[in-house]
Chains A and B, each alone.
Chain A
Amino acid sequence: MALDLNFQHRVKARLISIAHTVTLFIAMSIICIPGLWIVLNSFRPTVDIMAKPPVWIPRDLNLDNYYAMFGGAGEGGVPVLQYFTNSLIISVTSTLIALLIGMAGGYAFARYRFKGKNAIFIGLLLTRAVPGVALSLPLFIVMAKTGLIDTHIGLIMVYVAMNVPFTIWLIDGFFRQIPPDLAEAAEIDGCTRWQAFWKVEFPVAKAGVASAGIFAFLTSWNEYALASQLTRSTFSKTMPVGLRDFTSEFTINWGGMCALAVLMIIPALVLTFLVQKHLIAGLTFGGVKG
Chain B
Amino acid sequence: MASVQLNNVVKKYGALEVVHGINLDVAHNEFVVLVGPSGCGKSTTLRMIAGLEEISGGEISIGEQVVNDLPPRDRNISMVFQNYALYPHMTVRENLGFSLKIAGKEQAEIDRAVNEASTILALEDYMDRRPGALSGGQRQRVAMGRAIVRHPDVFLFDEPLSNLDAKLRAQMRVEIKKLHQKIKTTIIYVTHDQVEAMTLADRIVIMRDGFIEQQGTPSEVFEHPVNTFVATFIGSPPMNLLQGKVIADNQLAFAEGFTLPVPQEFVGAVKAGQDIVLGFRADNLMPENHALDLDEASPPIKMPIVVSEPLGTETLLYTRLAGGEIQAKMLKPRPVVDGEVLTFHLDLARCHLFDADTQKSLR
Contacts and interface: CB of A to CB of B under 8 A. Distances in A.
Is B a genuine binding partner of A?
A: yes
Interface string A264-290: 000000000000000000111111111
Interface stretch (B75-83, B256-264, B287-295, B319-327): B75-83
B85 A185 contact: yes
Contacts of B299: none
B163 A188 contact: no
B214 interface: no
Interface in A199-219: 199-200, 203-204, 206
B117 to A, nearest CB: 13
B89 A185 contact: no
A123 interface: no
A131 interface: no
B72 A287 contact: no
A187 B88 contact: no
Contacts of A179: 83, 85
Interface of A: 179, 181-182, 184-192, 195, 199-200, 203-204, 206, 282-290
B136 interface: yes
B103 A190 contact: yes
B146 interface: yes
Chain A interface helix/strand/loop/mixed: helix
Interface residues of B, number: 32
Nearest to B149: A189
A179 B103 CA distance: 24
Given A286-B131, A287-B132, A188 B73 contact: yes
Interface string B84-96: 1111110000000
A286 B132 contact: yes
Contact of A287 (B78, B99, B131): B131
Contacts of A187: 51-52, 71-73
Contacts of B163: 289
A184 B52 contact: yes
A185 B47 CA distance: 11
Nearest to B50: A188
Contacts of A185: 79, 81, 85-87, 146
A186 to B, nearest CB: 7
Contacts, number: 95
B73 A287 contact: no
Interface of B: 50-52, 71-73, 77-79, 81-89, 98-99, 102-103, 130-134, 136, 139, 146, 150, 163
Contacts of B78: 188
A203 B89 CA distance: 7
B71 A287 contact: no
B95 to A, nearest CB: 9
A289 B83 CA distance: 5
18 contacts: A181-B81, A182-B87, A184-B52, A185-B85, A185-B87, A188-B73, A190-B99, A200-B87, A204-B87, A204-B88, A284-B88, A286-B88, A287-B89, A287-B131, A288-B85, A289-B83, A289-B139, A290-B132
Contacts of A288: 83-86, 88
**Interface-centre pick from A190, A191, A204 (highest chain B CB count, 10 A):** A190
Given A192-B73, A286-B131, A182 B85 contact: yes
A286 B50 contact: no
A185 B90 CA distance: 14
Given A187-B52, A188-B77, A287 B136 contact: no
B81 A287 contact: no
Given A187-B72, A188-B77, A181 B87 contact: no
B26 to A, nearest CB: 18
Contacts of A189: 73, 98-99, 102, 146, 150
A145 B181 CA distance: 76
B43 to A, nearest CB: 12
A260 B12 CA distance: 64
Given A282-B132, A284-B88, 4 more contacts: A188-B77, A188-B79, A190-B99, A286-B130
B89 to A, nearest CB: 5
Contacts of B133: 286
Contact of B84 (A191, A284, A287): A287
Contacts of B134: 286
A179 B86 CA distance: 10
B178 to A, nearest CB: 23
B102 A283 contact: no
A199 B101 CA distance: 11
